[in-house]
Amino acid sequence: MVIVTITVPGSGPQVNGGGASATTAVDTVPFAPTGALGPIGDPTPHWPGRRVVVDGVELHVRDTPATGPASGTVVYVHGLGGSATNWTDLAGALSSRWAGHAVDLPGFGHSTPRADRDYSLRAHADAVGAYVASLGGPVHLVGNSLGGAVALTVAADRPASVLTTTLISPAMPDLRPAPARLGDGKMALAAIPVVGARTRRELAAEDPGTRLRRTMRLCYADPDAVSPAAFAQAVAEQAERAAYPWLAEALQRSFGGLVSTWFAPRSRSLWSVAARVRTPTLVVWGEVDRLISVRKARRTVATIPRARLLRLPDTGHVAQMERPALVARAVLGMADAVDAGTWDSVPIRPDVRETVRG
């Protein structure tokens, strides 16, 4: 396990920035140079989507074409309540090398629910695994939060289909009592099964902008760092999805399916799944993650045999949206190290600190 803490002097979160340079020691997480990245805008326009049916499940997928000769394929899996647009900036940054496919999980984004209304972690992993298999060759797999748990499961179950795995604040078992996860009082009240029914209706009736700001306060270290143009684009995307009648069902049941895995016996827990992953794995965690504690990071990388950890200060639960350039450089740096045969040869140190100026 190698841990890198990135310190950005005098700088808060950079949603679409990250043109930082790094002096990377041989025993840290490797970084590709900034010039290796594709374009990141403010905002980057959302990538076009299409519908595909795989194993009887209809998925909506946003495609990011490679800006140069494609040397591979990357598949992105969003978190609970998210969508394929959570990957817009990172997909643009990685398009310099890879063609990207951002999948809307069943019932999220523009994907319809499964016919059997199964929102378990296993069902989500089966859908993503089937899509990966349909691409005809191994892929780089990237997941955030619930999508991190999905990606972890796919990598464990289908090792021949995955070249590298990147897990951004994966939803590993975290049973600590943490009211901050629920945001303000309305979110906490809505979580109560019967009493919160009225509050849940009120939340559902909120306009997309209000709902998005509430979510961002949970997921971002500093939601005010998001530019007005990027926020407006995200609100428009939320409004597009607001009419889907299954949104609340998908959110509630997927959350229940995820939490149920946290109480599974050791032999079937996410920790046992993590121990079966044999792909080179980059784990990225924001120090200001209010949803899944950064304290789970060390155990995660200690459990995955070929994992390294990148911890980002002033960053919350969605590092791919807050720090897309830094995350992209680390992902490409991992791929380069794997190609060079150096990913597994780095000496293990308990802690490494690197300064990135920018």
pLDDT higher than threshold 70 for residue 14: no
Give the integer Cα–Cα distance in Å for 130 and 286: 30
In a domain, 353, yes or no: yes
For the chain, give the percent of residues with pLDDT over 90: 70
Q: Answer whether residue 112 is part of any domain.
A: yes
Residue 186 falls inside a structural domain: no
Per-residue pLDDT tens digits for 309-318: 999 999 999 9
Global model pTM greater than 0.75: yes
192 part of a folded domain: no
pLDDT tens, position by position, 241-261:
888 999 888 988 999 999 999
Q: In what order do the strands lie in the sheet with 281-286?
A: 21-22, 352-357, 3-7, 307-312, 281-286, 162-168, 139-144, 72-77, 98-104, 57-64, 49-54
Is 198 part of a structural domain of the chain? no
Please report whether residue 208 resides in a domain.
Answer: no
Q: Is residue 184 part of a domain?
A: no
Please state, in angstroms and rounded to a whole number, the distance separating the CA atoms of residues 105 and 345: 36
CATH label of the domain that carries residue 15: 3.40.50.1820
Task: Say if 145 falls within a structural domain.
Answer: yes
pLDDT band at 8 (very low <50, low <70, confident <90, very high): very low
Q: How many domains does the chain have?
A: 1
**Percentage with pLDDT > 70 across the chain:** 80
CA separation for the pair 52, 57 (Å, rounded): 8
Full residue range of the structural domain in which residue 254 is found: 3-173+226-357
Which tens digit of pLDDT belongs to each residue from 112-166? 999 999 999 999 999 999 999 999 999 999 999 999 999 999 999 999 999 999 9
